[in-house]
Amino acid sequence: MTPKIVRQIAELREEIAAYRRGNPDGQVGFVPTMGYLHEGHASLIRRSAGENGLTVLSIFVNPLQFGPNEDFDRYPKDERRDLAVASSAGANLVFMPSVEEMYPEPMRTKVTVSEVTERLCGASRPGHFDGVATVVSKLFHIVQPDRAYFGLKDAQQVAVIARMTRDLHMPIDIVPCPTVREEDGLALSSRNVYLTPEERKQALVLSQSLAQVPGWIEDGMTEAELAVRIRGRIRSQPLADIDYVEIATYPDLKQPAPDRPLRDSNVPLLVALAVRFGKTRLIDNVLLFPSEVK
Ligand code: AMP
């Protein structure tokens, strides 16, 4: 069925309240996105549709989470295609507010999650996670879902939102979902459309270097050795400009013990990369559980 498009907060609240009145045991699933939907987003929507009676999808390019020199103004948009994807994946309500609807006056409230935001994208995009936590908190208050679905492609975002939800006692299950990739391994991203054919080819180095990580850890590498190895692999592509290569415990995102082989870790490890190709910044990661690195 075609989802209903809602642009006003009050109308969205009414639609969800009507669903809850009619379905006292019904559950509401929520998938927040910035649109330009691809199969990664569709996988989140399908998962929600399978687990909840009502699935709310939001499409909102949130100015608060973009830095001054980032791509807010040129973020790709295609409302018609987004609705087709939302519909075939099983969304019931599509919330597409304007910036004025979400921010009718300057915000005087900010949600800041500390520590888990210190490294990785938190370090290279100052203020980014304040923007994310603030808008997701607003959306959570508007939708009041039972479950919310987030992709592990943005693993730090999952850690930040899960922590915010716990810290603020929000009664919402945060459901992490696996990264969906192109057949050749490139993680799907709305930003992939920016890549030139040559950049697209060289961007494969992200997933290819991450695919080697379990073997390198098995060989007994420490954190520093692994980072050097990955950097070397990425630098083999002349158009790749490394923003960061980081290894962190998950979900706390602390530095692992520097002198110990990573295979001895008894907590999950996140190996995360951000690499620029021209104006396009891509991220990817692999999350490894202790049983996978021993
Ligand atoms: P975005 O529209 O980029 O803000 O992403 C919205 C949601 O989709 C976030 O929870 C992302 O982590 C998730 N997502 C984006 N790309 C992928 C992907 N390739 N696989 C799985 N989830 C994804």
199 CA from centroid of ligand 1 (Å): 21
User: CA angle, 188 as apex, 219 and 144 as ends, to 5°?
Assistant: 105
**CB of residue 130 inside a 6 A radius of ligand 1:** no
Residues 26 and 104 in one domain: yes
Which of the listed residues 177, 200, 232 is the one where a domain comes to its end?
177
Residues 247 and 116 in one domain: no
Report yes or no on 182 lying in a domain. Answer: no
Residues 9 and 155 in one domain: yes
List, for residues 213-234, the tens digit of each pLDDT value: 999 999 999 999 999 999 999 9
1: pLDDT strictly greater than 90:
no
Which of the listed residues 152, 177, 202 is the one where a domain comes to its end?
177
**CB of residue 285 inside a 6 A radius of ligand 1:** no
Query: What pLDDT sits at residue 112?
Result: 98
Report yes or no on 227 lying in a domain. Answer: yes
Which of the listed residues 177, 199, 230 is the one where a domain comes to its end?
177
Report yes or no on 277 lying in a domain. Answer: yes
227 CA from centroid of ligand 1 (Å): 25
Residues 20 and 159 in one domain: yes
CB-CB contact of 31 with 149 (8 Å): yes
**Residues annotated in a binding site:** 34-41, 65, 151-154, 157, 180, 188-191
Instruction: Give the pLDDT band of residue 287 (cuts 50, 70, 90).
Output: very high
Report the CATH number at residue 35. 3.40.50.620
- Of 64-68, 91-95, 135-139, 256-260, least confident by mean pLDDT is 256-260
Residues 148 and 270 in one domain: no
Report the CATH number at residue 259. 3.30.1300.10
| DSSP assigned state of 240 | E
Query: What pLDDT sits at residue 289?
Result: 87
- Which atom, in ligand 1's list, is nearest to the CA of 41? 8
192: pLDDT strictly greater than 80:
yes
Report yes or no on 109 lying in a domain. Answer: yes
290: pLDDT strictly greater than 90:
no
Substitution candidate for ligand 1 out of 56, 150, 190 with most atoms within 8 A of CB:
150
> Which residue segment(s) compose the domain that 258 sits in?
190-288
Residues 82 and 12 in one domain: yes
117 CA from centroid of ligand 1 (Å): 18
Residues 200 and 166 in one domain: no
Residues 141 and 213 in one domain: no
24: pLDDT strictly greater than 90:
yes
- Which atom, in ligand 1's list, is nearest to the CA of 154? 12
**CB of residue 33 inside a 6 A radius of ligand 1:** yes
**CB of residue 222 inside a 6 A radius of ligand 1:** no
- How far the first Cα of the chain sits from its last, in Å, is 47
* Nearest-angstrom CA–CA distance, 6 and 117: 32
Residues 84 and 211 in one domain: no
Sequence letter at residue 204 = L
Residues 153 and 196 in one domain: no
Query: What pLDDT sits at residue 294?
Result: 61
* Nearest-angstrom CA–CA distance, 273 and 95: 31
Residues 69 and 150 in one domain: yes
Instruction: Give the pLDDT band of residue 277 (cuts 50, 70, 90).
Output: very high
Report yes or no on 157 lying in a domain. Answer: yes
Report yes or no on 294 lying in a domain. Answer: no
148 CA from centroid of ligand 1 (Å): 12
- Which atom, in ligand 1's list, is nearest to the CA of 44? 22
* Nearest-angstrom CA–CA distance, 61 and 239: 28
- Which atom, in ligand 1's list, is nearest to the CA of 150? 10
**CB of residue 142 inside a 6 A radius of ligand 1:** no
* Minimal-distance CA residue to ligand 1 atom 14: 151
List, for residues 42-68, the tens digit of each pLDDT value: 999 999 999 999 999 999 999 999 999
The question of whether 41 is a catalytic residue gets the answer: yes
* Minimal-distance CA residue to ligand 1 atom 19: 188
* Nearest-angstrom CA–CA distance, 202 and 278: 11
Sequence letter at residue 130 = D
Query: What pLDDT sits at residue 292?
Result: 79
User: What mean pLDDT comes out for the span 193-207?
Assistant: 98
- The residue assigned the tokens 């996988």 is 43
5 SS3 class: strand
Half-sphere exposure of 98 (CA within 13 A, CB side): 5
List, for residues 157-185, the tens digit of each pLDDT value: 999 999 999 999 999 999 999 999 999 99
Number of separate domains in the chain: 2
Shortest CA distance to 283 belongs to which of 121, 175, 118?
121
Sequence letter at residue 43 = S
Report yes or no on 293 lying in a domain. Answer: no
Report yes or no on 52 lying in a domain. Answer: yes
Residues 146 and 24 in one domain: yes
